[in-house]
């Protein structure tokens, strides 16, 4: 094991990053009225989310796709068979401008992840359809994510997973109902 890997293994917070307790202690020193329990929860959730995003990013890189491309693949899969949507609907679902969506689709057509064809019933309308290659990439990313996610939750028994799911769901509902 390299010295860098050994140091990273010895430092669960990551290189140069304080552990959560140290971070919260500093917050309390600088902002005495901060609730340490709230800060511990929020800081931990934030760190977990960042680490998950890095892991997912590495998996997608290994598959030769970007997270932006994966989002398009996901939107097409979620639309259901035959995995087709118009570019305007895709842009709306992903919160993108039509121009940004066109640019993304151009790249994905070149990578044979999707096709872009005129709708035979309405020649003005364009249809974006998931290719077999695009579906294979999406499925493989899901397989890789499932392994990672199971490892992530391996220390939680089913009852704890149920409780955590419920708690996070309630938090998400609160955030989504109060977010501007």
Check whether 2 has a pLDDT greater than 50.
no
Q: What is the average pLDDT score of the chain?
A: 90
For the stretch 144-173, pLDDT in tens is 999 999 999 999 999 999 999 999 999 999
pLDDT band, very low/low/confident/very high, at 17 (cuts 50, 70, 90): confident
For the stretch 91-113, pLDDT in tens is 999 999 999 999 999 999 999 99
Chain centroid to CA 71: 9
Q: Report the range of poorest mean pLDDT among 1-10, 35-44, 46-55, 58-67.
A: 1-10
User: Please, is 166 exposed, middle or buried when counting C-beta atoms within 10 Å of its C-beta (0-12, 13-18, 19+)?
Assistant: exposed
Contact assessment for residue 82 and residue 100, using Cβ atoms and an 8 Å cutoff: no
Q: In 30-102, where do the E strands start and end?
A: 84-85
- From residue 96, give the alpha-carbon distance in Å to each of 2, 128, 141: 43, 15, 23
Average pLDDT score over residue span 31-40: 96
Q: Name the residue with tokens 């010295």.
A: 3
User: Please, is 150 exposed, middle or buried when counting C-beta atoms within 10 Å of its C-beta (0-12, 13-18, 19+)?
Assistant: exposed
For 84, phi then psi, to 5°, come to -135, 140
Average pLDDT score over residue span 25-30: 95
Residue 124: Cβ within 10 Å count: 6
pLDDT band, very low/low/confident/very high, at 74 (cuts 50, 70, 90): very high
How far is it, in rounded angstroms, from Cα 87 to Cα 7?
A: 47
For 124, phi then psi, to 5°, come to -80, -30
SS3 138: helix
Contact assessment for residue 87 and residue 126, using Cβ atoms and an 8 Å cutoff: yes
To which H or E segment does residue 38 belong?
A: helix 36-63
Check whether 5 has a pLDDT greater than 50.
no
Q: Report the range of poorest mean pLDDT among 2-6, 99-103, 129-133, 134-138.
A: 2-6
Contact assessment for residue 141 and residue 65, using Cβ atoms and an 8 Å cutoff: yes
pLDDT band, very low/low/confident/very high, at 3 (cuts 50, 70, 90): very low
């Amino acid at each position: 094991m390299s010295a860098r890997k050994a140091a990273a293994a010895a430092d669960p917070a990551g290189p140069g990053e304080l552990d959560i307790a140290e971070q919260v202690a500093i917050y309390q020193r600088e902002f005495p009225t901060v609730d340490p329990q709230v800060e511990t929860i929020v800081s931990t959730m934030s760190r977990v989310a960042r680490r998950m995003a890095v892991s997912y990013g590495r998996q997608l890189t290994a598959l030769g796709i970007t997270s932006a491309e994966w989002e398009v693949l996901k939107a097409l899969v979620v639309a259901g068979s035959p995995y087709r949507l118009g570019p305007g609907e895709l842009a709306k679902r992903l919160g993108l401008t039509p121009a940004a969506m066109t640019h993304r689709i151009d790249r994905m057509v070149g990578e044979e992840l999707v096709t872009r064809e005129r709708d035979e019933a309405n020649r003005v309308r364009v249809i974006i359809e998931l290719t077999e290659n695009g579906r294979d990439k999406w499925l493989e990313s899901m397989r890789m994510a499932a392994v990672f996610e199971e490892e992530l939750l391996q220390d939680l028994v089913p009852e704890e997973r149920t409780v955590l799911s419920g708690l996070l769901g309630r938090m998400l509902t609160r955030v989504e109902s109060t977010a501007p």
